[in-house]
Amino acid sequence: MKKVTFIIAAVMISLATFAQTWSLDKSHAKLGFTITHLMVSDVEGSFKKFDITLTASKDDFSDAVISLTADINSINTDNEKRDDHLKGPDFFDAAKFPTLTFKGKSFTRVSGKNYKLTGDLTMHGITKPVTLDVVYNGTITNPM
């Protein structure tokens, strides 16, 4: 029995050693979006408060588990009236649904730094599958 317990513990430790979890460096990240308004112009916006975690054991992130949450009340389109309208019941209804969540299912390299991230997006209490474009610029160890 001790031998089996030791082997299971050794396997669990080795798996934990290979998998790494990253948290977002918020001072160097942006969660943005673009919406076409009346089929004439593009409106850009972002969420100022959000968190992302990524856990992967492979260098190419093909086994990545990605989780994102965004605070709907932090939406910013550089227009206060529009932001208030988006937070209201006509759109996000932030009073009832204060967060947006995304749970990644696959992360696939398209070319160079470009990837496709597929997963489930939940907002306004509704979950739907989506595919997002991601630019991954790499990782470094902070020299400080």
Strand ranges of the sheet holding 31-37, from the earlier edge strand across to the other edge: 31-37, 41-47, 75-76
Nearest CA to 64 out of 54, 72, 50, 73 is that of: 54
* pLDDT score for 18: 63
Nearest CA to 70 out of 97, 34, 105 is that of: 97
**How far apart are the C-alpha atoms of 24 and 51, rounded to whole Å?**
6
The residues of the chain scoring below 50 in pLDDT are 1-17
- pTM of the complete model beyond 0.85: no
* pLDDT score for 29: 81
